[in-house]
Amino acid sequence: MGWHRVCLNTIVRKEKVLDSERLRILPMGSRVNVVEKQGRRVRIDQPISGWCSLNSSNGDTILKPLDANQTSKMVAPTPRSGQAAVTNLTEKVKYTEEQISKAQDSEKELLKQEKLQYEARIKDLEKKDAERQKMLAALQAQSAKPTAQGTASTDIETVKFRAGDAAMIVPDHELKGICIIQCVITVDGKEMIGCDYATHPDQFNFKGKSDGTHPVSGDKIWTPNNGMSGCWLERKDLKSLLPCLALLKQCEKLDQENTDLKYYKRTAEGMVKRVQEFHDQFKNNRTITFQPLDDTKEKVLKGEDFAKAFLTQFTSIEIHD
């Protein structure tokens, strides 16, 4: 079914049923790729795999199809972090600005919300990357400190790797940061270490890239985790072990939850701002006249009364399933 724009904040769930596990809140103005439809429920595969609704139970549109022209000009999916993500989002801001100048009035508000979210995400990513660099520097410093058992993380030359170990890659390596050990094999007398590395497979051009298949037998040894790429490294590529995989996984989970909350917070703040602007505009009118399409009797309200009622109706934002 292709790409759709999110017209109302909505919940992505793990299964089609409405009481299944909640995965993420998608903010108004974002985009999703629909791959399956069952009634008013649809399955999406980007930006996350799960189920959401085309329409709410009372008929409000939640997902609106993008036309072919918009789809053909869409930039690539945003990487999760790093400079590539900032560059990608900057391109999306530029593209959205172009769309705003061409859009009809009914579409402009959604595009403006989308642009604000991209700009806020750029700020979040820049702050997050700065924090990540500080964390890596602290880990590197910690690895050099002695402990009661000897060097921290043990001697990389003799350590026996276990699946799930986190390892620091040597500073001058093509890959940067941390990898997750998945297996250790020997091929023609040479030790090879299978690892997961935090980058999307489509953006990973490392010469040792792997999908977890044994290079000789062709057997599947491991499957890279979601959002990560598999690769083969050697012991000399690694500086030290980091006994903190469980902590890293928990940090990743909390980071995603925090990102979802920030999306929701920004969307709510944007809508409150727009509602206040409409309130001020209505309040400055002596009267507001409503002329029904069926030419029945028109309704005239005092601007101040309508503004007050309008603001009261939008004091909270409803999440539609």
pLDDT digits (tens, 9 = 90+) for 149-158: 333 445 788 8
The most confident of the ranges 2-11, 77-86, 216-225, 264-273 is: 216-225
Q: In this structure, which CATH number among 2.30.30, 2.40.160, 2.40.128, 2.60.40 belongs to the domain 154-242?
A: 2.30.30
Q: Could you tell me how far CA 246 lies from the centroid of its own chain?
A: 22
Q: In terms of pTM, does the model score above 0.75?
A: no
pLDDT score, position 195: 94
Q: Select the more confidently predicted residue: 251 or 126.
A: 126
pLDDT digits (tens, 9 = 90+) for 181-240: 999 999 989 999 999 998 888 888 898 999 999 988 899 999 998 888 999 999 999 988
What is the dotted CATH code of the domain comprising 1-74? 2.30.30.40
- 296: CB partners within 8 A, 6+ apart: none
- Tokens 């600005």 identify what position? 97
**Mean pLDDT over each residue of the chain, to the nearest integer:** 79
Are the C-beta atoms of residues 95 and 48 closer than 8 Å to each other?
no
Distance CA 265, CA 88 (A): 23
Grade residue 148 by pLDDT with cuts at 50, 70 and 90. Answer: very low
